[in-house]
Structures are given as C-alpha cells and as structure tokens.
Amino acid sequence: MRLREWNQVKLTSQKRKDRASDSEEIGVEGGRMDFLRSLFSRTLGLSPGEKVLDELTLDGVARYILSGKCKNIICMVGAGISTSAGIPDFRSPGTGLYANLQKYNLPYPEAIFQIDYFKIHPEPFFALARELYPGQFKPTVCHYFMRMLKDKGLLTRSFSQNIDTLERVAGLEGEDLIEAHGTFHTSHCVSFLCRKEYSMDWMKNKIFSEDIPKCDSCGSLVKPDIVFFGENLPDRFFTSMKMDFPRCDLLIIMGTSLQVQPFASLSEFGMGLIGFGGGMDFDSDKAYRDVAHLSTCDDGCMALAELLGWKEELEQMVKREHALIDSRDVKKKDEANQNSKSTGAEAGKTDKTA
C-alpha cells in the first residue's frame, strides 16, 4: 500500500522505553551514540525490532491499547481530519484548496501562503481567511477521539499540520498539542524590529471588517501566527519531537499524505522505518508493526473506538460537545441582535430629541 490516501488511518506500534533511562542515556555522549546506532539500525532494516502486536490489524491495535502496555500514544494529523467539518484539504484534485484559488489571481496556488508574496499582496490571504476562519466549523469525530485519548491518559501529544484550531475547540490544550504549521490563536507584526503581539479577537475583527491588519505601533502588516512557506516551524515542534518520539508506544497518522517537510520526517524520526525510502511497511515479509486502515478518518476512529469499547462514549461526547457549540452560537446571535436593537433604539431617541 502506498501513502497516497488522505482519508486513511495508519498506525505503528513500538516497544516502550523507560523514560528515566532514556533521559540519562541520551544526556551523555555514549548514550547519544547508542541511540543513534539503534535508530539507524532500525531505519535501514538491519534490526527486525520487537513485535508488540499479535496481529497487524485494527483488532490487533485495539488489543495492544487495552493490554495496558500502550501508555504513550502520539497522533500525527493533517487536513484530512477536518474535511468532514466542511474545511477543504489542500491537494485533493478538484476539491482541494489549491484547486479552487483561481478567483484570487495568484501566480501559482501556493503563493497564497508564501511569506514574500504575502508582504507585497496580503489581500488574497485575508480574503481566504474570511472563508476559513476558526469558529465557523465544529470538530469532527476524529478530533474528539484524540480528546478521548487525552481524557484516558493515553495521549502524549498531537502533532498537527492544521491551522483551523479545531483540536483546541475539541478540548486539547497547549501541552497536548504541537501546531506544527502555526495557529490563528495569536498574531504578530511581521516587522523584526517590532513583533508586537495581537489577540485572536483583534485579528478576527480586522479580517471580517475587510481591513488589512496593520500594526498600531509601526504600521507594518500583522499576520496570524501560521507558518508560511519561507518561515521556520515553531521551536516547540523540534523540542517535543526529540522528547516524545523515543518513548512513543503507538503512532496514529490520520488525514495526511506526509508530503510536506519537515512534518513528514517525524514518522522517520521516531519509528525506525524499514527501507531507505522511509515508507511504512504494511505487507512485506519483514512487516511486524505497521497497520493501515483505509476509510475516512471519522469512520476509522469510530471503528477503533468500537473495538476498544468506547464507541458509545465517543458518540455521546460528539453529541454533547456539538450541542454546547450550537448553544453558544445561539447565545452570541441573540446578544448581537439585542445589541443591534439597543443601538437602533438609541439612534431613534437621538433623532426625536433633535
């Protein structure tokens, strides 16, 4: 099987390492060499590794989780986990974001996320941001499955390529989440001499009033803290990568084709993949730990939840959380309508007085 499907769930299991000894060994030169020697050996297929799944199926993964031996789960997720929420992915032919940007008259689709292009022509990005701005979509089954892993004490971290903040809406907090491609949660002035920070509410007001956000200190553009082409990934991406992956018991990859670097290299860093190409091994004679479940991300999560005995709990969580979001939206609309009526009434009084 090739890694060509967006809406698939891929899982890989690993032998759990002791955290304390990990830190002690990697902290000294000899330990570093042992770690690298082991990593390269597994990467080149020179060591078969330890088989921890009794079967290379979703059932085998579920039994591993329920065994109590799987204590540190990492999720790697991309745009495919948000498509059922109504947010397009990037590269799907015909329906992906890049295939539907003609109206912005870009020199090429990726230019909308190029930092140099943005500094000269910010209008296309902010027009797109109005369409896709966080707060207009609900988290999916997949997002709440990760929340359930957190609630059960199994989630070490979720590494996300997404900028839609739906992981946060679903209940993952700062320590649970590495937003590898940044977030709309905060914004900064693009000037290196200024870098003033702005809140999500400030940016939202600017975007929906169709104003190009400018810094009130220096007049430069203000950009949400999402990572454009030509910018570095957040420091936490690299520090967490080095800390989390060596102790990972199970890696769940959902909704990403693993085409974009350096995010795609995470799977190689932690998993010691067989073969020089760094691809997962699902069905060769050497296969011992990689499982592919081909379905939509939501269906895959629900299938795994059912095998774990969590299906009803997950369904109830999705229903409850979506109802809370709907109730908050209704409250906001009522408050907005009330403010509008109050403003109209005040204007009427002023007219009569005049």
Instruction: Give the amino acid at 174.
Output: G
Per the structure, the complete domain to which residue 132 belongs is given by 88-136+182-226
Is residue 301 in a domain?
no
In whole angstroms, give the CA distance from residue 29 to residue 300. Answer: 42
Is residue 262 in a domain?
no
What is the pTM (predicted TM-score) of this model? 0.74
**pLDDT confidence of residue 38:** 55
Any binding-site annotation on 82? yes
Instruction: Give the amino acid at 30.
Output: G
Nearest to residue 163, comparing CAs of 245, 261, 81, 73? 81
Any binding-site annotation on 147? no
Any binding-site annotation on 182? no
Number of domains making up the chain: 1
Is residue 196 in a domain?
yes
Any binding-site annotation on 142? no
**pLDDT confidence of residue 349:** 57
Answer yes or no: 185 catalytic. no
Computed over its alpha carbons, how large is the radius of gyration of the chain?
A: 23
**pLDDT confidence of residue 69:** 92
What is the CATH number for 216?
3.30.1600.10
Nearest to residue 255, comparing CAs of 79, 96, 114? 79
Residue that is written with structure tokens 């990572």 in the block: 227
In whole angstroms, give the CA distance from residue 160 to residue 255. Answer: 10
**pLDDT confidence of residue 339:** 59
**pLDDT confidence of residue 146:** 97
Residue that is written with structure tokens 């011992």 in the block: 288
In whole angstroms, give the CA distance from residue 300 to residue 159. Answer: 18
Any binding-site annotation on 164? yes
Is residue 217 in a domain?
yes
Is residue 153 in a domain?
no
Is residue 257 in a domain?
no
**pLDDT confidence of residue 268:** 55
Any binding-site annotation on 81? yes
185 CB neighbour count, 10 Å cutoff: 17
**pLDDT confidence of residue 165:** 86
Per residue in 22-78, pLDDT (tens digit) is 433 334 444 445 554 555 444 444 445 678 888 889 999 999 999 999 999 999 898
**pLDDT confidence of residue 40:** 47
pLDDT tens digits in sequence order for the chain, 354 residues long? 222 233 445 666 655 444 433 433 334 444 445 554 555 444 444 445 678 888 889 999 999 999 999 999 999 898 889 989 888 666 566 555 655 566 777 888 788 888 899 999 998 888 888 877 766 789 999 999 999 999 999 999 999 988 888 999 999 988 999 998 888 888 999 998 999 999 988 999 998 888 899 999 999 999 999 888 878 888 888 888 888 888 889 989 898 877 666 665 665 544 332 222 345 777 778 877 888 888 899 999 999 999 999 999 999 999 999 999 988 867 666 655 665 555 555 555 555 555
In whole angstroms, give the CA distance from residue 284 to residue 305. Answer: 28
Any binding-site annotation on 218? yes
Is residue 200 in a domain?
yes
Supply the mean pLDDT for the chain.
Answer: 77
Task: From the candidates 121, 181, 188, 322, give the one annotated as an active-site residue.
Answer: 181
181 CB neighbour count, 10 Å cutoff: 21
Per residue in 150-181, pLDDT (tens digit) is 999 999 999 998 888 899 999 998 899 999 88
Is residue 144 in a domain?
no
Any binding-site annotation on 194? yes
**pLDDT confidence of residue 18:** 43
Residue that is written with structure tokens 């690299």 in the block: 238
Cβ within 8 Å of residue 288, ≥6 positions away:
48, 49, 51, 53, 56
Largest CA distance in the chain: 88
Any binding-site annotation on 296? no
